[in-house]
Structure 1
């Protein structure tokens, strides 16, 4: 099978970056563009300004489905990330460009529901139980499809683009929950990413942005939220300020503008004393802090997932 416009495909690498346009990439982005991208090396090579370049739109994890809408002769594919709702951009999902080599045709077993999700911040998949890594850096929130029985603490899983299963340590995955989690459980997942580098468009445990942090925390429990902060506000339930609890969301907007930032409520509010965990554009990392004055001035509401 080959990739074809009009058909779905699936991400075959641990993290695929979605770009605004092939012409928008920079020389520093080389490690993220390879057929087998090295996203940690790419992030390590970005300077303070390059971490927020608007050439990056989003990221997709191993196994995420896309609709291929165009294939170019130079190896780029235009896709719609159908698992990342973005109604303002495309009712089908989040649109953008990525290297076609990072995709594989959708195989029949991918039509089934995933049974497991990666709970470690990152894990490696192995060609044999306990053997050398065959696919490194598979991140938190990646959903996996079981390919057979557990063997000596190792779980075989189907991996896009590969005929033979790869093996993951049983301790690094958990069954995908069947029941809706409590908000504090999502907060606990996000808190494990405290100190992680801020990357505009980042959506993995290698680097993340504000709405990516919210989305990834809930993805760990099987719940799909929109990609961007303003869309997340539209998909959640508003609360009266003062009624928020840990795990709820704070949204921020400047007067007359759409929502541009989201954080996760980290403690019960005490009067005007509010705290949140968020991927901070200014500090370029995930932090937990009391809302500073500029955030208080742009706080437009609290919502519950």
Structure 2
């Protein structure tokens, strides 16, 4: 994982593990307290092999770049702009956006079929390209910046579906992330935010949604309340304000009562719950992908 920051000057001492040449996102999140996990210095995160376009390079090792796989209509036509460490980039590999996706919460890629771990923390939704047949339960895959293939556990990889998935299958992926830590801008199985949960769950099936909740609302189709189905989305906004939160419908509505799975800012976890009063008061619609 690489992290996209608002500005080089915005990073904090606690962010050091995420800035290392080989980022340790799990240690970074574990080292933050409840309030530090919602600091506004983080914009989003990028998975292994995710394409970016560099638009500015600084001599101090920072680059301004656009995350091409994370649409953000209000910020730019090409993708999500922000700042990355130059050490977290590799030359583009046209085959990186491959036909396999990581289905495990996290996995490790090894230097050989029986070698030591070369890359740890490769997370759910990462796209990989096979580089040969499996050997003893491991499959060689291409990785940007690596001249030789690395080896992934074959059981942690699945082919991308040829057809659009049913929304309930996407919900099932998100349900596997229950109790995950809430991290502002997070988009991994180490920590995630509300729109990141939606984006990542659909990405697992090869579907690209915008990164932020308001853009996700604009990119999906509104359905009448009480006609929503599990896997649809609930959006929330305060009067006169833009959409600030999204959750995944987790059950059919019943008697005016609604349930959702969401990365909750208040509890700082991914939870499934009946909409409490404050959520009901700010619910602005249900949408379908």
Range into which the TM-score falls when normalised by the shorter chain: over 0.9
Cα deviation 1:113-144 (Å, max 9, x = unaligned): 51100000000000111322110010000000
Q: Does 1:283 align with 2:237?
A: no
**Contact 1:84 1:224 (C-alpha < 8 Å) held by counterparts:** yes
2:100 matched residue in structure 1: 116
Normalising by structure 1, we get a TM-score of: 0.94
Deviation at 1:19, TM superposition (A): 0.2
**Mapped partners of 2:22, 2:268: distance in 1:** 26
Which of 195, 198, 208 is the matching residue for 1:211? 195
Normalising by structure 2, we get a TM-score of: 0.99
2:32 matched residue in structure 1: 46
**Mapped partners of 1:100, 1:178: distance in 2:** 35
1:90 matched residue in structure 2: 76
SS of the counterpart of 1:181? Answer: coil
Q: Does 1:266 align with 2:266?
A: no
1:254 matched residue in structure 2: 238
**Mapped partners of 2:111, 2:2: distance in 1:** 21
1:24 matched residue in structure 2: 10
Q: What residue ranges of structure 2 are gaps of 5+ in the alignment?
A: none
**Mapped partners of 1:159, 1:186: distance in 2:** 26
SS of the counterpart of 1:213? Answer: helix
1:102 matched residue in structure 2: 88
Q: Does 1:56 align with 2:37?
A: no
Q: CA RMSD in A?
A: 0.8
Q: What residue ranges of structure 1 are gaps of 5+ in the alignment?
A: 1-14
**Mapped partners of 1:195, 1:55: distance in 2:** 23
SS of the counterpart of 1:109? Answer: coil
Deviation at 1:298, TM superposition (A): 0.0
Cα deviation 1:243-270 (Å, max 9, x = unaligned): 0010000000000000000000000000
Deviation at 1:108, TM superposition (A): 4.4
**Contact 1:242 1:271 (C-alpha < 8 Å) held by counterparts:** no
1:134 matched residue in structure 2: 118
Deviation at 1:109, TM superposition (A): 3.3
Corresponding pairs, count: 289
**Mapped partners of 1:239, 1:198: distance in 2:** 28
Report 1:156-235 matches (<5 A). Answer: 156-235=140-219
2:61 matched residue in structure 1: 75
1:299 matched residue in structure 2: 283
